[in-house]
Structure formats: structure tokens, C-alpha cells
């Protein structure tokens, strides 16, 4: 049910931005051109805006609930995310409506150009949502439509730089479009309407950025995201991440055990007629004497594949199936840990090894 709900949330997100977002811009453009606002128009516009913001926030909640390797997001964090997207999308669609009320043709050209740039950026990020390359490109093209209105994270890892680039570009675009509308607006539009409209655009964008900073500073599931310096290749990869003492000790022990069993594993591979197993199960080596209470003997599934070689969605389904299969076969009191072949992605590997 959790996986199906995540799928439904993704479909709802795509349908909302492909349907409600263009309708919202059209409604606001008609309101600006006619200089009149009816109650039904205001209600439908507000409902469309709420649906856009809620689609993004609810998808993040559903996605984290369906991932065993991710911490669940709290309801307060969902509310903060909703406010973040609500105000940033509001500033975006109001800017579009103002600009489109004067420059219809140039507005279409701008939308197509922005969509092409965002799609190229997403493809360059090398997303892993689909199995084939062409399906992935089609998915990136659809996500590029979402990027016309709002930020949508499609790649795991640090998002600080991508967030800054995206919202800096959005701020420049909103400023340029609003300035062009103000300079070439219709003569019947007085400054009594134009100045408050511009104030609403920039105050709404600033409010959304403030909610975004609040989310990453206080409500992110992994803790505060600010004040952490990015790790570089010359640093110790284990020391670059803050882990509890027990987790750090078990991780260092697992790394040392990995090095000690490499030769034994290669010898086993040679004895199997050259057929390299995809994964194998071995018991964890007994821990060194310490003041900590003894740990229950557990199993480690060594997967001889790189995590980024198969799609993200099937990746987690495979992990869950392996855990359940080994648990049923071994009848062990605790689920086994997964250990992948690629040691380069140290943060990703530590997250998987310490999830359970």
C-alpha cells in the first residue's frame, strides 16, 4: 500500500502541474486583462494554487514513507514545505499572468526556452527513475514542466548548490518579466494596481524562500542542513559524516572485515567455474571487546553490484525482497544488512548499513 500510494502521489503531482498550473496562469491573466475579480474566479484560482503546493508536499511525504533507507518526514515539516511551495509558486504564476497579459507571443517563447533549459539540466543530472534511457528522457521532459513553476528534487545527494542556482534563476526571471510588464503595461492600468502587484510578487517569493530556509534549518528529517561543509576527496570519508559512536564503530569494523575477506571471496569465485555470484551471505565477524553490550549476531548480504547500475525504484524493491528472503531462510531475529560493491559512495553505503 505504501509503494502504491507513492506511485499515486507521483501521478497526482504530474497531473496537477500539467493541468492546474496552466489553468491557473490563464485565470490570473484573464483577471488582469479584465480588471475584475469574481468570487468563483478567486475561489478556483486559490484552489488550483493550493493543489499545486500540496502535490509537492504530499509527494515528499509519500516518497520518504516508502523508503526504508530514509527517515520519515514529520507533519510539521510537511506544513512548512507546503508554505514554501505555496508562496514561491504564487509569485511565479502571478508574474506569468502579468507578463502574458501584455506579451502573449513572447510569453510562449519564454516558456518553451525555459522548459528546454530545465530539461537539459535534469538530463545532465543523470536521474534514475526509469529502466531505459528513452523512458528516462521522457520523464525528464515532464519534470521540466514542473521546473517552470517550482523546484522538484530529482537527484539524491546535496541539493544546496542546485537550490541556489534554481531560485537565483527564478528571481532573475521574475524580476525581468515583472519589469517588462510594468514598463509596457496598458495605459488604463494605474500605479495603484501595478505597485501592489509587484509588491505581492516579490514579498511572496521572499516568504517562500524564508519557509524553505526554515525547513532545511529546523524541520529536515536528517537534521539541520546548514553549517555542514561539503566533503572533499582528500578528507577521511568516514570522518566526513557525523554518526553515533556505536554506528561509527560497527562501520569501521565492517570496512576492516571487507578487506580481510576479499582474497577468500576471489578464491571462491575461481572455484565456481568463473560464475560470479550476485550476492552472498556471511556472518559478521565477532566484535572486539568493549564496554558496549554484546550485539546479536547478524547476517550481511554482500551484493556484487553497483547501486547506481539499476533504477532507483527497483533498487529499493530488490533490497526489501533480499532482506525478507534472507530473514525467512535464516530465521534470524533481526533483518540482515546490505553491503554494496561500490565503496566510493561512502555516505550512501553508510546510510544503508546503519538503517536497521
With vertex at residue 241, the alpha carbon angle to CA 286 and CA 285, rounded to the nearest 5 degrees, is: 10
Q: Could you tell me which of 50, 59, 57 has the C-alpha nearest to residue 77?
A: 57
**pLDDT tens readout for residues 148-180:** 999 888 877 777 888 899 999 999 999 999 999
CA 103 to chain centre: 34
3-state DSSP of the chain: CHHHHHHHHHHHHHHHHHHHHHHHHHHHHHHHHHCCCCHHHHHHHHHHHHHHHHHHHHHHHHHHHCCCCCCCCCHHHHHHHHHHHHHHHHHHHHHHHHHHCCCHHHHHHHHHHHHHHHHHHHHHCCCCCCCCHHHHHHHHHHHHHHHHHCCCCCCCCCCHHHHHHHHHHHHHHHHHHHHHHHHHCCCCCCHHHHHHHHHHHHHHHHHHHHHHHHHHHHHCCCCCCCCCCCCCCCCCCCCCCCCCHHHHHHHHHHHHHHHHCHHHHHHHHHCCCCCCCCEEEEECCCCCCCCCCCCCCCEEEEECCCHHHCCHHHHHHHHHHHHHHHHHHHCCCCCCEEEECCCCCHHHHHHHHCCC
Per-residue cell: 152: 522538484
Handedness of CA 116, 119, 125, 130 (dihedral sign): negative
Structure confidence at residue 132 (pLDDT)? 78
**pLDDT tens readout for residues 223-262:** 776 555 444 333 443 333 444 444 444 444 444 444 444 4
**pLDDT tens readout for residues 123-152:** 888 887 777 788 888 988 999 999 999 988
305 contacts 341 by C-beta, under 8 angstroms = yes
- How far does the chain reach from its first CA to its final CA, in angstroms? 21
28 contacts 82 by C-beta, under 8 angstroms = no
**pLDDT tens readout for residues 61-81:** 888 888 777 788 888 999 999
Structure confidence at residue 89 (pLDDT)? 95
352 contacts 338 by C-beta, under 8 angstroms = yes
Question: Higher-confidence residue: 356 or 95?
Answer: 95
285 contacts 253 by C-beta, under 8 angstroms = yes
**pLDDT tens readout for residues 23-60:** 999 999 998 888 888 888 889 999 999 999 999 999 88
Rounded to whole angstroms, how far apart are CA atoms 349 and 355?
A: 10
Rounded to whole angstroms, how far apart are CA atoms 266 and 280?
A: 12
**pTM for the whole structure:** 0.63
**Confidence check: pLDDT of 274 > 80:** no
Across the chain, what does the average pLDDT equal? 74
Ordered strands of the 279-283 beta sheet: 279-283, 299-303, 337-340
Per-residue cell: 333: 531475529
Handedness of CA 339, 345, 350, 351 (dihedral sign): negative
Structure confidence at residue 334 (pLDDT)? 64
Q: Could you tell me which of 87, 81, 51 has the C-alpha nearest to residue 174?
A: 87
In our burial notation (b when 16+ CB lie closer than 10 A, e otherwise), range 331-341 reads: eeeebbbbbbe
Each domain of the chain, given as residue ranges in start order, spans 1-219, 301-355
9 contacts 51 by C-beta, under 8 angstroms = no
Amino acid at each position: 500500500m505504501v509503494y502504491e500510494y507513492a506511485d499515486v502521489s507521483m501521478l497526482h503531482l504530474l497531473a496537477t502541474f500539467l493541468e492546474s498550473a496552466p489553468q491557473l496562469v490563464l485565470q490570473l491573466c484573464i483577471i488582469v486583462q479584465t480588471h475584475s475579480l469574481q468570487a468563483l474566479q478567486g475561489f478556483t484560482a486559490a484552489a488550483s494554487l493550493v493543489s499545486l503546493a500540496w502535490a509537492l508536499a504530499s509527494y515528499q511525504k509519500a516518497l520518504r514513507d516508502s523508503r526504508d533507507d530514509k527517515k520519515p518526514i514529520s507533519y510539521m515539516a510537511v506544513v512548512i514545505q507546503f508554505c514554501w511551495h505555496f508562496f514561491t509558486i504564487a509569485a511565479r504564476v502571478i508574474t506569468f499572468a502579468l507578463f502574458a497579459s501584455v506579451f502573449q507571443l513572447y510569453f510562449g517563447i519564454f516558456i518553451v526556452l525555459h522548459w528546454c533549459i530545465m530539461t537539459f539540466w535534469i538530463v545532465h543530472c543523470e536521474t534514475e527513475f526509469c529502466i531505459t534511457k528513452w523512458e528516462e528522457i521522457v520523464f525528464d521532459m515532464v519534470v521540466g514542466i514542473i521546473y517552470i513553476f517550482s523546484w522538484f528534487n530529482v537527484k539524491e545527494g546535496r541539493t544546496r548548490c542546485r537550490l541556489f542556482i534554481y531560485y537565483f534563476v527564478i528571481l532573475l526571471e521574475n524580476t525581468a518579466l515583472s519589469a517588462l510588464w510594468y514598463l509596457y503595461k496598458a495605459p488604463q492600468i494605474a500605479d495603484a494596481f501595478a505597485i501592489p502587484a509587484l509588491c505581492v510578487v516579490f514579498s511572496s517569493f521572499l516568504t517562500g524562500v524564508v519557509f524553505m530556509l526554515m525547513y532545511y534549518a529546523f524541520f529536515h528529517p536528517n537534521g539541520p542542513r546548514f553549517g555542514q561543509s561539503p566533503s572533499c576527496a582528500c578528507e577521511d570519508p568516514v570522518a566526513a559524516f557525523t554518526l553515533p559512536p556505536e554506528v561509527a564503530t560497527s562501520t569501521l569494523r565492517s570496512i576492516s572485515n571487507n578487506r580481510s575477506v576479499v582474497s577468500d571471496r576471489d578464491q571462491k569465485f575461481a572455484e565456481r567455474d568463473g560464475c560470479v555470484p550476485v550476492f552472498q551471505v556471511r556472518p559478521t565477524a565477532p566484535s572486539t571487546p568493549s564496554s558496549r553490550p554484546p550485539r546479536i549476531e547478524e547476517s550481511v548480504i554482500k551484493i556484487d553490484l553497483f547501486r547506481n547500475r539499476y533504477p532507483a525504484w527497483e533498487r529499493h524493491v530488490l533490497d526489501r525482497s533480499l532482506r525478507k528472503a534472507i530473514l525467512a531462510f535464516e530465521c534470524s531475529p533481526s533483518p540482515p544488512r546490505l553491503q554494496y560493491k561500490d565503496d566510493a559512495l561512502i555516505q550512501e553505503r553508510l546510510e544503508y548499513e546503519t538503517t536497521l
